[in-house]
A = this chain, B = another copy of it.
Amino acid sequence: MDNLRDLYPSRLERRIDAFKRLDPVIYRKPDADEGPLSPEQMAFYRDNGYLYFECFLSEAEVAQLFSELTALSEDSSLRHAEDAVLEPDSGELRSLFAMHRHSEIFDKVTRNPRILDMVYQILDSDVYIHQSRINYKPGFKGKGFNWHSDFETWHTEDGMPRMRCLSCSITLTENTEFNGPLMLIPGSHRYFVPCTGATPDDNYKTSLQAQQFGVPEEDDLRWLVAEGGIVAPKGPPGSMLLFECNTLHASNANMSPFPRSNVFFVYNSVENALQAPYATRNPRPEFLGSRRIETLTPGS
């Protein structure tokens, strides 16, 4: 396969300085002014790289998703699936990937028209699911995650050529400061921060438990936080966070007795199909970076 040029070099042996992103943040639809996102929300997303919607889903919708999540976590056959990630210490389910293929109910969430209309407004194209997962983060046991850009990994290890992609995270439990909520560095999506260090084959087998490659250097994090600060949107179950594929984010350990569960899915533009990975030999498995472009159809 003739790859598109590598516009975002990373995982090299030597350090490369951060640089401004080469892609728009908003691929503005011609009739974007008609919504659903207001001009203020569009400007906020453009400048900060995320949008937060408290109580986006109703209590009834959350209850249905939560019971589906519980059913999946109790399905012991799934625990041995390739796309299940277990907590290193306890063996409990940490994440289940490709949730939209495991569950019709979760498949429908990814095709929620209220979400898709926002995604179309921002990306101005049809989309497909690049990755999806349920995160359990059980009480006391959920470990944290270092600062990283998802795009940096999807580019280097999956071959995603450009930044025309965004993630959606919906909480299914209350998010508090004590159960390891997602933290973001507002504005960090406007830069590409190359990470240092050649990446071994099959890195994903260990990186899902503790990321070692694809972690920006501390000096870069320092000036990015000095510019944009850190935020951690918190709120009741059913709240939704849309964030740009290149926004730096992290999470801390869950120190509370309560789980921090959410569903996470990634909309990639159908015009941004995966190439060969830019920094590794083999692409990661289908459940981490899908190569089946199945254009989503709204449905509820």
Interface residues of A (CB under 8 A from B): 139-140, 144, 147, 177-178, 180, 183, 218, 221-222, 225-226, 230, 232, 250, 252-253, 255-257
Contacts and interface: CB of A to CB of B under 8 A. Distances in A.
Contact of A221 (B177, B225, B257): B257
A258 to B, nearest CB: 8
A99 B177 CA distance: 31
A178 B255 contact: no
B253 A139 contact: no
A257 B222 contact: yes
Contacts of A232: 177-178
Nearest to A257: B222
Contacts of A257: 218, 221-222, 225-226
A256 B250 CA distance: 10
A253 B256 contact: no
A234 to B, nearest CB: 9
A218 B257 CA distance: 8
A210 to B, nearest CB: 12
Contacts of A180: 252
7 contacts: A144-B253, A177-B232, A178-B183, A178-B230, A180-B252, A183-B255, A250-B255
B139 A218 contact: yes
Contacts of A139: 218, 222
Contacts of A140: 218, 221
A178 B144 CA distance: 12
B222 A255 contact: no
A281 to B, nearest CB: 29
A253 B252 CA distance: 7
A287 to B, nearest CB: 28
Contacts of A178: 183, 230, 232
A178 B225 CA distance: 11
A175 to B, nearest CB: 12
A133 to B, nearest CB: 22
A253 B254 CA distance: 11
